[in-house]
Amino acid sequence: MLSPRALRTGLVLLFLSAFSTAATAQTAKAPAMSIQIAVISLDDPISGLGYAQGQKLIPLAIPSGYKPAPVRYNGPAPLVLYRESKDLKGNEVRIPVTEIRTPQNTGAWFAVLKRLPGERESYAVSVIPDDAIHLSLNVWVFINFGQKPLAVDLEKERTIIAPGKSAVFKMADQQEYRNGMIYKQSGTEWKLSYGTRFLHYANKPRTFILLDDPGDADHILLKALNVLPPKPENEKTDGRTTTKPKNTSGTASKPPARPKK
């Protein structure tokens, strides 16, 4: 027979144990990530992928030529993209294809997927804060997804972009062409890595993604991205990964001027 004091002690311990168990269960159920994220492909649009939200697989359309509306993800970290398939018995299974990891598990992010070579479907993933994309009219944004600083020269303006950072160029309120040169830092030199003639459409924001070329360390790839979904009109876009231009690689005669502070 327990004494009243022992009984009270036992009830207190039982209550504390139940409280601790409930708190642990609540913590285990809390999502490790609570983010908004927009995802694009640097190659062709990707269909058939999705992410787990509880027991459901939420389809995720991944376009190529424009930045889509962000989706909300609340769940374990990292965000895993799956493709549904069937095993030998005909049962549906989820095959993990790639993981999206963000520097913090909260906030708004922009992810870029690049298909890796090989028979198995897999992607290289680059992530930056979503606020690097500007929606202001007549604004161009260059985002450096490469591993080295890049210098962007648009005739009237030039600036240096550190890896993982972006630069904003204010354009005229009229259609115009700009000769563009992009240099990559290599030791103490700046090498001309890309050259083209850009066409600016009045009252339209543009975003350009700059990446390292896996086949040429001195060259970069440029992806033109519409930050708004394309309108159903007969308007051509150049939202594609470019090929290496002829006679544009080499060592610059002198490093691009540093941007004015």
Q: What is the mean pLDDT of the chain?
A: 78
Residue 16 lies in a domain: no
Residues 139 and 239 in one domain: yes
Asked, for residue 3, whether it belongs to a domain, the answer is no
The stretch 150-179 carries a mean pLDDT of: 87
Q: Are residues 114 and 170 in the same domain?
A: no
- pLDDT tens digits, 204-213: 778 899 988 8
Query: Within 13 Å, how many C-alpha atoms sit on residue 239's CB side?
Result: 22
Within-domain flag for 176: yes
Residue 170 sits in the same domain as residue 216: yes
Residue 227 lies in a domain: yes
56 with 162, same domain? no
Please, is 135 exposed, middle or buried when counting C-beta atoms within 10 Å of its C-beta (0-12, 13-18, 19+)? exposed
| Domain carrying residue 81 | 33-130
Split into its structural domains, the chain has a count of 2
Three-state DSSP class for 130? helix
Q: Indicate the residue among 93, 109, 130 that finishes a domain.
A: 130
Which whole number is the average pLDDT over 9-13?
Answer: 43
DSSP of 196-241? EEEEEPTT--EEEEEEEETTEEEEEEEEEEBSSPPPSSS-----SB
Q: Which residues partner with 56 through β-bridges?
A: 53
What per-residue confidence (pLDDT) applies to 152? 95
Helix (H, G, I), strand (E, B) or coil at 131: helix
Q: Are 110 and 167 in the same domain?
A: no
- Whole-number Å distance between alpha carbons of 165 and 162: 5
CA 174 to chain CA centroid, nearest Å: 30
Band of residue 116 on the pLDDT scale cut at 50, 70, 90: confident
**180 φ/ψ angles, rounded to the nearest 5 degrees:** -115, 135
Residues 244 and 144 in one domain: yes
Residue 228 confidence (pLDDT): 58
Q: Please report the pLDDT score of residue 1 as a whole number.
A: 52
CATH code, domain with 211: 2.60.40
